[in-house]
């Protein structure tokens, strides 16, 4: 799983896409903003990463009382709309 900032100057989008290819084209989210402002998507990033990790862990998870349930309860913010793209292998 990879998150890229569309206007990132520390890791420009071209570099991020090269990294994506080198990693075997993992599931990738393109976030609005740059390296610093992409952090506004933190709630979205936590949920996406949590879902990905539980999916990779296998069926029947997460167990009751897990961190997955805690993350699911985090308030949803308008900033989560800043995820502007989703690429799959």
pLDDT tens digits, one per residue of 19-66: 999 999 998 988 888 888 877 777 788 888 888 888 877 666 554 445
Q: Where are the domains of the chain?
A: 2-87
Q: Name the pTM for this structure.
A: 0.67
Asked if 74 and 43 touch (Cβ cutoff 8 Å), the reply is yes
Return the bridge partners of 28, or none: 2, 87
Looking at per-residue pLDDT, the higher value among 37 and 15 belongs to 15
H and E: helices and strands count for the chain: 3, 3
What is the pLDDT, as a whole number, of residue 45? 83
């Amino acid at each position: 799983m990879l998150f890229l900032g569309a206007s990132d100057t520390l890791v420009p989008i071209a570099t991020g896409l090269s990294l994506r290819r080198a990693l075997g084209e993992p599931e990738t989210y393109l976030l609005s903003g740059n390296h610093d402002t992409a952090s506004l998507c933190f709630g979205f990033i936590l949920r996406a990463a949590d879902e990905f990790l539980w999916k990779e862990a296998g069926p029947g998870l997460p167990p009751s009382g897990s961190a997955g349930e805690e993350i699911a309860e985090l308030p949803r913010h308008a900033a989560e709309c800043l995820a502007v793209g989703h690429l799959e292998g």
